[in-house]
Amino acid sequence: MSADKRLYIAEEGGKRLDLFLSEQTEEFTRSRIKKLIEDGRVQVGGTVAKKCGDIVKAGQEVVLEVPLPVAMDAHPENIPLDVIYQDADLAVVNKAKGMAVHAGSGNEEGTLVNALLYALDSLSGIGGVLRPGIVHRIDKDTTGLLVVAKNDAAHLSLAKQIAEKTCHRIYYALLEGNVKEDSGRIVTDIARHKTERKQMAVVRDGEGKIAVTDYEVVCRFGGDFTLCRFILQTGRTHQIRVHAKHMGHPVVGDPVYGFKKQKLSVEDGQLLHAHTLIFAHPRTGEEMTFHAPLPKTFEEILSKLTKKYAVEVEI
């Protein structure tokens, strides 16, 4: 494959094509995007775009083809993988902690993509040579559910459901401190941190991408910790972790966004788990619901907290 194909679906209409793509792609300058459009590397609604100033309509599919300097195809690796469901169109995977979803700086091997290429009979090509089949991501040290597309039609359908918020992704996280409100909605712009380029940050409106997260308190452990259920309305990089920090209650064990001094010692990353995934099957339209139990470390810590604070937790 000579290009990395990336699919975006416009949640809102009325923006210029070059502006829309600059907001979707963090690594490209406007001049780089302009060149890609001029080279015929962008399709809007299945038609090659002609001008940077073309207006993108709500719901339109925009495919960006990024030429690859080197065709570095991911290769299959026999890595243990918890595939909880699969058929001819998709697979649902319970990702383990410590596994990156796809190749990047410092993790060219041992990724979910490497494991998928070994375990599954096919993957969609829309994600490009390094991200075949990947419709959405979760962080390396976050555990839980991902849906993977095995063909391009399934990929387009699932990506559209995520964009239109008909695909539901529910997470559980243990947070530092006492979250006062029983439920709420966090709405901010999120962008790349200005100095720490591997981190994301809440920025002023209009300076990043809109990020919306709903939350519900499941259980409070005195004033020390709060178990929360999070429902993603958008899917920005590190969204829940950044929003938790923004609330003043970072995820327990988060080495990047957490407090420097934490009350609980968690050696292998943040206590954040993608627990529930609900979507319509791309071929049949049937609603499909999947759950992944909390990983062992998360369960053990909750068990200790429930005994210490004499409370019950129901997930």
Distance (Å, rounded) from C-alpha 151 to C-alpha 95?
20
Give the separation between CA 32 and CA 272, rounded to whole angstroms: 36
Task: Give 119: exposed, middle or buried? Use CB within 10 Å, 0-12, 13-18, 19+.
Answer: middle
Could you tell me the two tokens for 304? 């200790």
> What interhelical angle do 30-38 and 17-24 show, nearest 10?
120
Residue of 18, 89, 139, 141 with catalytic role: 139
* Residue 61: how many other CB atoms lie within 10 Å: 17
What is the chain's length?
315
List beta partners, residue 190.
202, 209
How buried is 25 (Cβ within 10 angstroms: 0-12 exposed, 13-18 middle, 19+ buried)? middle
Query: Which residue blocks in the chain are alpha helix, DSSP H?
Result: 17-24, 30-38, 112-119, 152-163, 239-247, 296-309
Dihedral-angle region of residue 106 (phi above 0 means left; psi in -120 to 50 means alpha; beta otherwise): left
Contact 192, 162 (CB under 8 A): no
Four-residue CA torsion sign, 37, 40, 46, 49 = positive
- Cα gap 218→229, rounded to integer Å: 6
Residues 217 and 313: beta-carbon distance below 8 Å? no
Tell me whether residue 18 is one of the annotated catalytic residues.
no
On whether the CB atoms of residues 43 and 56 are closer than 8 A, the answer is no
What residues are annotated to the active site? Answer: 139
